[in-house]
């Protein structure tokens, strides 16, 4: 059967973007995990795609930058998403309606490869959504295929609204254009621990070291060694791979620097960091990588968990609370490189991008602006702090005995209808100090950290597999958790990595003329 040119383009586009996978975390506007519709949420290829498929011969035409009339109606925006945005961000959707007169028409797809597959199909069919979520492989992979629209004409990075984000936006510059500006960043990964365990063993609180400017690789290593010397069951560190440690040197593994793609795997800072991690692994001070943060601290054997702090904090606190285990969960940034004068930390971000061929650019920009406006609103900031640091007892809104629904005035410990004790609702509140540190770790304008975003997971699935594939074969897991030589792993994979990056370099060179 003869296939039409349009049908062939749609199929190729689906294969091209489907092979990208879907990086990053599935989270809502506030950073909490969201419910996705996908069985393949971890990036498993969707039906009809093959991981690593290279459809590099097919490219989209560069998106046409349209002029928008600020006075035109916001209208309806089409959103391609992998969770129910309308329900899970209901308050924001309502604001979009009341403040802008806009509405949302959403299409919920699978996450993982299926998300990019569907996006490619829609763009190739001239049925582009107006808004999609940013994912790790949106940049540079998706941008290099002209799947997104430049937003320089629509967002003023020098305005008060986007204060502190201009430097962040530059990390997503491609060929002199910007395709993505996050409305919010997250601390990505942090060192999480139970302070009471340290007190029990008479160990120094690393928070004191941090406040005194002494929280470095060296003091980190000393602490996990002291911990592991206490018991053979003790684990000094486990969690995420080596990327966050490398970030503390101020160097990225793979960097997209506007007009070039730089492979830093042989950089002296990267080499030095990986050798440090090899050493602590060789001494038996590390675990085997990822563990569920809700279970990580239950048996009391783990000292430090490298994981996204807000998720870890809530999950760990709730689990320990329900198991009646004493705790005082804390988190702080990854230890400073002793050769660096500042704290460099890796970050992740939340935001939206406008696909090529979007029909309602004005509405898309209004949605992006609304998200940023709500994050920057002083009342919202104050209310969030009051809520997150509120240590008062909370109760379920309905009596478990007589099903009476409590009013705001009925805030006592018993049900006013039947006299039964109210059921306590768990809430992981933050201390003032911990809350303020979290803000410093997520707010570039505060000036406490140098923020880096490593582009290492923004290419295709073949490169992703090399860096975070199977256990000891992973370039970022092997040296830290499995006592495998970084130099050996790097040399084994270096030519393959360069071959993949060369394809992206060639595309970027065409953009630069």
Which 3 state secondary structure label does DSSP give 350? strand
What pLDDT was estimated at residue 59? 58
Phi/psi for 284 (5° steps) reads 75, 30
**63-100 CB burial, b ≥16 within 10 A, e <16:** beeeebeeeeebeebbbbbbbebbebbeebbebbeeeb
Whole-model pTM: value is: 0.85
Strand arrangement, sheet containing 235-239: 235-239, 302-307, 190-194, 329-332
What pLDDT was estimated at residue 66? 65
What pLDDT was estimated at residue 141? 93
The tens place of each residue's pLDDT in the chain, 513 residues long, gives 333 333 333 334 443 454 454 444 444 434 444 433 333 333 322 222 333 333 333 456 565 666 666 778 999 999 999 999 999 999 999 999 999 999 999 999 988 788 888 999 999 999 999 999 999 989 999 999 999 999 999 999 999 999 889 889 989 999 899 999 999 999 889 999 999 999 999 999 999 999 999 999 999 999 999 999 999 999 999 998 899 999 999 999 999 987 899 999 999 999 999 999 999 999 999 999 899 999 999 999 999 999 999 999 999 999 999 999 999 999 999 999 999 989 999 999 999 999 999 999 999 999 999 999 999 999 999 999 999 999 988 889 999 999 999 998 898 999 999 999 999 888 899 999 999 999 999 999 899 999 999 999 999 989 999 998 778 899 999 999 999 999 999 999 999 999 999 999 999 988 865
Rounded Cα distance, 416 and 451, in Å: 51
Rounded Cα distance, 317 and 304, in Å: 15
Q: Give 461: exposed, middle or buried? Use CB within 10 Å, 0-12, 13-18, 19+.
A: buried
5-185+350-376 architecture in CATH?
3-Layer(aba) Sandwich (3.40)
What pLDDT was estimated at residue 513? 57
Rounded Cα distance, 176 and 190, in Å: 32
What pLDDT was estimated at residue 470? 79
What are the sequence ranges of the domains in the chain?
Answer: 5-185+350-376, 190-347+433-511, 392-425
The H or E element that residue 94 is part of is helix 90-100
CB-based contacts of 470: which residues, under 8 Å, 6+ apart?
A: none
Helices (H) and strands (E) in the chain, counts: 18, 18
CB 120 within 8 A of CB 18: yes
Domains 5-185+350-376 and 190-347+433-511 in one fold: yes
Rounded Cα distance, 186 and 243, in Å: 16
Rounded Cα distance, 152 and 508, in Å: 18
Structure tokens that stand for 182 in this block: 């996050």
Q: HSE, CB side, 13 Å, CA atoms: give it for residue 267.
A: 16
What pLDDT was estimated at residue 41? 30
Neighbours of 384 (CB within 10 A): 15
CB 331 within 8 A of CB 309: yes
Fold of 190-347+433-511: D-Maltodextrin-Binding Protein; domain 2 (3.40.190)
């Amino acid at each position: 059967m003869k296939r039409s040119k349009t049908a062939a383009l749609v199929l190729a586009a689906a294969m091209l973007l489907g092979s990208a996978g879907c990086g990053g975390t599935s989270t809502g506007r506030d950073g909490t995990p969201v419910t996705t519709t996908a069985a393949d949420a971890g990036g498993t290829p969707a039906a009809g795609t093959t991981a690593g498929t290279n459809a590099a011969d097919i490219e989209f035409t560069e998106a046409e930058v349209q002029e928008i009339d600020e006075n035109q109606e916001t209208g309806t925006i089409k959103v391609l998403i992998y969770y129910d945005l309308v329900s899970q961000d209901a308050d924001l959707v309502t604001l979009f309606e009341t403040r802008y007169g806009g509405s949302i028409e959403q299409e919920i797809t699978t996450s993982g490869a299926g998300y990019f597959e569907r996006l490619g199909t829609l763009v190739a069919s001239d049925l582009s959504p107006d808004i999609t979520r940013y994912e790790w492989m949106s940049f540079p992979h998706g941008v290099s295929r002209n799947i997104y629209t430049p937003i320089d004409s629509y967002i003023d990075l020098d305005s008060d609204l986007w204060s502190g984000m201009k430097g962040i936006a530059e990390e997503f510059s491609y060929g002199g254009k910007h395709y993505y500006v996050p409305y919010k960043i997250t601390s990505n990964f942090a060192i999480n621990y139970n302070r009471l365990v340290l007190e029990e063993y008479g160990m120094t609180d690393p928070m004191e070291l941090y406040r005194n400017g002494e929280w470095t690789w060296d003091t980190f290593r000393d602490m996990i060694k002291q911990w592991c010397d206490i018991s053979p069951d003790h684990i000094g560190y486990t969690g995420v791979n080596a990327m966050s440690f490398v970030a503390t040197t101020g160097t990225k593994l793979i960097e997209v620097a506007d007009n070039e793609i730089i492979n830093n795997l042989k950089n002296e800072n990267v080499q030095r960091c990986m050798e440090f991690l090899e050493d602590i692994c060789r001494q038996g001070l590390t675990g085997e990588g990822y563990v569920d943060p809700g279970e990580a601290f239950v048996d009391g054997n783990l000292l430090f968990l490298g994981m996204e702090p807000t998720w870890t904090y809530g999950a760990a606190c709730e689990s320990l609370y329900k198991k009646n285990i004493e705790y005082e969960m804390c988190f702080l940034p990854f230890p400073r490189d002793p050769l660096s004068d500042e704290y460099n930390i890796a970050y992740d971000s939340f935001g939206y991008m406008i696909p090529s061929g979007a029909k309602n650019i004005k509405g898309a920009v209004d949605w992006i602006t609304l998200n940023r406006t709500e994050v920057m609103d002083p009342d919202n900031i104050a209310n969030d702090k009051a809520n997150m640091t509120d240590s008062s007892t909370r109760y379920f809104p309905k009596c478990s005995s007589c099903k009476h629904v409590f009013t705001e005035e009925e805030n006592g410990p018993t049900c006013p209808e039947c006299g039964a004790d109210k059921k306590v609702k768990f809430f992981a509140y933050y201390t003032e100090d911990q809350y303020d540190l979290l803000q410093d770790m997520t707010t570039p304008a505060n000036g406490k950290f140098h923020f880096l975003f490593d582009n290492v997971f923004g290419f295709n699935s073949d490169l992703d597999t090399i860096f975070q594939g199977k256990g000891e074969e992973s370039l970022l897991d092997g040296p830290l958790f499995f006592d495998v030589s970084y130099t050996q792993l790097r040399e084994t994979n270096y030519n393959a990595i360069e071959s993949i990056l060369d394809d992206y370099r060639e595309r970027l060179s065409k953009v630069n003329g």
